[in-house]
Amino acid sequence: MPEEKPWWILVGGMRRLGGALAEELAEDHALVLTGSQDGEGGWLKSLGSRTSLRTFRWNAMDPELGPQMMADLAGLESAGIHLGGAVILAGVFPEHPFGAWTMTELENIWRVNLSFPMLCAQALAPRLVDGSCMQFLLDTSIHQPFLRRLPYSASKSGLGSLVPGLAQLLAPRLRVVGHAIGTALPDENSDPEWLASQSLLKRNGSPADVARSLRFAEESPYLTGEIMTLDGGRRWR
């Protein structure tokens, strides 16, 4: 009988980088993907033909989020699905120039980029099988903040404190690792060539680069509490 693939949950795994990582990981993982909206039907169908797949609607703005997460995770266990890893990558990446900050906008960023990952960690930790790794996607901006996206950078730096703190709280049962990534999938408003020029290696990363780093953390049972920077050397320029 073929060996069963381990189940991983990707929080924010239905779009953009999350979707590309799901594609990369589907070969050797069964997947639970979450998004604030339903995923694109055709894509999910095609992914579901390659691996076992479940989807949840987890919206950071939903006041019923906590009970929803608990119910969904209990449902997985009832179905005999035990999570062997978690990648928390949901986030927003807005421009917010200094002078234009408002309480409402700042709170929205903290909510999606910081409060939501923290609540996910709290909900997921008791459900992960012993020895699992909980992984967070941060940003190279934790080293050199993006000045037009300082609230974004500050929220990612908050995750930079969460990783070693959670590693201490959850050890020795679980490991916790962060990945401070450079450009892996530029958004439509950015200039990929300029972004590549900002790195020592003069190239942007790719979802495959990030997936390699996630796999490395998964396969490194002596690694916890660390944030690995994967930015082509951008922070050393």
Question: Rule CB under 6 A: which of 20-39 touch ligand NAP?
Answer: 35-37
Exactly one of 27, 45, 61, 208 binds ligand NAP (CB under 6 A); which one?
Answer: 61
Stretch that binds ligand NAP, among 48-56, 67-75, 119-127, 179-187 (CB under 6 A): 179-187
Exactly one of 47, 163, 167, 184 binds ligand NAP (CB under 6 A); which one?
Answer: 184
* Closer to ligand NAP by Cβ: residue 4 or 184: 184
How would DSSP label each residue in the chain?
A: -PPPPPEEEEET-SSHHHHHHHHHHTTT-EEEEEESSPPPHHHHHHHHTTS-EEEEE--TT-TTHHHHHHHHHHHHHHTT--EEEEEE---------TT---HHHHHHHHIIIIIHHHHHHHHHGGGEEEEEEEEEEEEGGGTS--GGGHHHHHHHHHHHHHHHHHHHHHTTT-EEEEEEE--SS--TTS-HHHHHHTSTTSS---HHHHHHHHHHHHT-TT--SEEEEESTTGGG-
* Closer to ligand NAP by Cβ: residue 21 or 170: 21
* Closer to ligand NAP by Cβ: residue 17 or 177: 17
* Closer to ligand NAP by Cβ: residue 139 or 218: 139
For ligand NAP (CB under 6 A), the number of binding residues is: 25
Does the footprint of ligand NAP cover residue 60 (CB under 6 A)? yes
Ranked by CB distance to ligand NAP, the top (closest) residue is 35
Question: Rule CB under 6 A: which of 105-134 touch ligand NAP?
Answer: 112
Does the footprint of ligand NAP cover residue 230 (CB under 6 A)? no
* Closer to ligand NAP by Cβ: residue 4 or 207: 207
What are the φ and ψ backbone dihedral angles of 133, each rounded to 5 degrees? Answer: -115, 130
State the residues that interact with ligand NAP by CB under 6 A: 12, 14-18, 35-37, 58-61, 89-93, 112, 137, 139, 181, 183-185
